[in-house]
Amino acid sequence: MFEEIVSKLNSVKQQKIAQGMANPISATFQPAKNDFLDELSKRAVKMFEKNCDIKNFSKLVLSDLENESHLDIMNELSAKGITDPFEDEKLAELADNEQLLKDLGLTE
């Protein structure tokens, strides 16, 4: 493998010399693309965004603990005939929802 790298560098140098004066730094330095680091960076960004979302959601939920307007809203919806999202059947559908589980970070 080392011989292959050296041969490639020599061919690049020969091409540069044939064209005129060569800059030894630009002839030998080419940044390598590292897929592992790219994926690691993407994963770190996703984890950071998820952490920020959790903090913002927690701050929103815990902002007013004595606010019980949600109970009034649920009673109004029930009176209008809207299905209760807490029914066992609806909860089973949510538990099997792959997109929801993926958004929650429970599956890959």
- pLDDT > 70? residue 15: no
Over range 6-27, report the average pLDDT: 61
- pLDDT > 60? residue 59: yes
What is the torsional sign of CA 14, 18, 23, 29?
Answer: negative
Q: Between 81 and 23, whose confidence is greater? A: 81
- Name the pLDDT band for 21 (thresholds 50, 70, 90): low
- pLDDT > 90? residue 48: yes
Q: 55-94: string of b/e by CB count within 10 Å (b at 16+)?
A: eeeeeeeeeeeeeeeeeeeeeeeeeeeeeeeeeeeeeeee
pTM of the entire predicted model: 0.34
What is the torsional sign of CA 15, 21, 24, 29?
Answer: negative
Query: Going by C-beta distance under 8 Å and a sequence separation of 6 or more, which residues neighbour residue 22?
Result: 13, 16
Over range 73-101, report the average pLDDT: 82
Distances in Å between the Cα of 66 and the Cα atoms of 43, 60, 70, 71, 72 are: 37, 13, 11, 12, 13
pLDDT, residue 52, reads 93
